Amino acid sequence: MNENHPSDGTVDVDAAVVDTADDIAEMRIRGAATIADAAAEALAIQAERSDADSPAAFQRQLRTAAKTLYETRPTAVSLPNALRYVLRGMEGETVADLRETTTARAEEFRTDLEQAQVTLGEIGANRLRDGDVVMTHCHSTDALSCIEAALEDGKEIEAIVKETRPRKQGHITARQLREWGVPVTLVVDNAARRYLDEADHVLVGADSIAADGSVINKIGTSGLAVNARERGVPVMVAAQTIKLHPDTMTGQTVEIEMRAEEEVLPPEERADIVADAPNDDGLSVENPAFDVTPPRHVDAIVTERGQFPPESIVTLMRELFGETTGEPWEV
């Protein structure tokens, strides 16, 4: 349902947009590429269902929808990049034209996203040899695309899958790999260093890549990369160019999402620790969802445009995001 209340200046967005925003915030939709795809789809639905009676009202609704989606999770830049891309295609003098250009642009974004992942996978697969063992962290569709392409090339790949506390996205990775017939060894995060001796590659995805080549990904990636460097295991980051964070070219830092205590310490477990003082505020829990891996611990960033040493990624970033950025709804 769309409603416009010009009198008090508020603009309601379609229920589907609110649902998608909730799903992203609650991580029923998660992972940077999947979030970007869902956000573009939600904008298309908003455009299709809009009841706006003027071009200005239509544009207001779309911008409000973009803001609603943007305010869900702060770290994956694929989300604002997707919103900005779709809104930049919103052109026309009539509501019908605006609707058509916006939905077409969203469709184009989603098709390109899918194709970029396939292309990236083919490029990344070239780094994997027959018989290699890959250690993964979290669940990344870009990283899995490299393994899928290697399997399609007829290579045998094995995986050591880190569980990835607290949300255990490693289980999603393990499920996908088993569907493809890949032998999987699941380990707790703390066992990663021990099992690096058996790995030929560390393969992870990214939520954002900064201009200096730093990789922002699931918490635990940086420790894994440091250990991998110490053990001589190359670290490969699979990240479509939608993960490049243009604002970092002007020195902005990437916000690291802090999530709820309950993900780490459910109330009943908290009660076990502070049973005698349920309101004890001397026990606090920190739950950062992501961390930053410096470029010196990354061997290659694999994108659909080729693979890059992290220090050179800024060249690609300038080429793709040369113009100023601004908030996604201020295009």
* Known binding-site positions: 30-33, 73, 217-218, 243
Task: Tell me the closest approach of the beta carbon of residue 281 to ligand RUB, in angstroms.
Answer: 27
Q: Is 247 helix (H, G, I), strand (E, B) or coil?
A: helix
* List 95, 236, 289, 302, residue binding ligand RUB (CB under 6 A): 289
Q: Which residue is nearest to ligand RUB (CB)?
A: 205
Q: Is 208 helix (H, G, I), strand (E, B) or coil?
A: strand
H/E run at residue 87: helix 78-88
Strands 215-218 and 208-209: antiparallel
Q: List CB contacts of 216: < 8 A, sequence separation 6 or more.
A: 75, 206, 207, 208, 209, 210, 245, 254, 256, 290, 291, 292, 293
How far is residue 296's CA from residue 215's CA, in Å, rounded to a whole number?
Answer: 10
If the CB atoms of residues 95 and 238 are measured against ligand RUB, the closer one turns out to be 238
The answer to whether residue 34 forms part of the interface with ligand RUB (CB under 6 A) is: yes
* List 13, 17, 21, 32, residue binding ligand RUB (CB under 6 A): 32
Q: For residue 210, which amino acid is it?
A: A
The answer to whether residue 169 forms part of the interface with ligand RUB (CB under 6 A) is: yes
Binding residues for substrate: 30-33, 73, 217-218, 243
207 is catalytic: yes
Which residues within the stretch 222-281 sit at the binding site for ligand RUB (CB under 6 A)? Answer: none
Which residues within the stretch 206-225 sit at the binding site for ligand RUB (CB under 6 A)? Answer: 206-207, 217-218
* List 13, 21, 33, 86, residue binding ligand RUB (CB under 6 A): 33
If the CB atoms of residues 99 and 162 are measured against ligand RUB, the closer one turns out to be 162
* List 2, 141, 173, 325, residue binding ligand RUB (CB under 6 A): 141
How far is residue 310's CA from residue 237's CA, in Å, rounded to a whole number?
Answer: 9
109 phi/psi in degrees, rounded to 5? -60, -45
How far is residue 204's CA from residue 215's CA, in Å, rounded to a whole number?
Answer: 10
* List 2, 4, 30, 50, residue binding ligand RUB (CB under 6 A): 30
Q: List CB contacts of 315: < 8 A, sequence separation 6 or more.
A: none
291 is catalytic: no
Binding site for ligand RUB (CB under 6 A): 30-34, 76, 138, 140-143, 169, 205-207, 217-218, 289
Residue positions annotated with a catalytic role: 138, 207
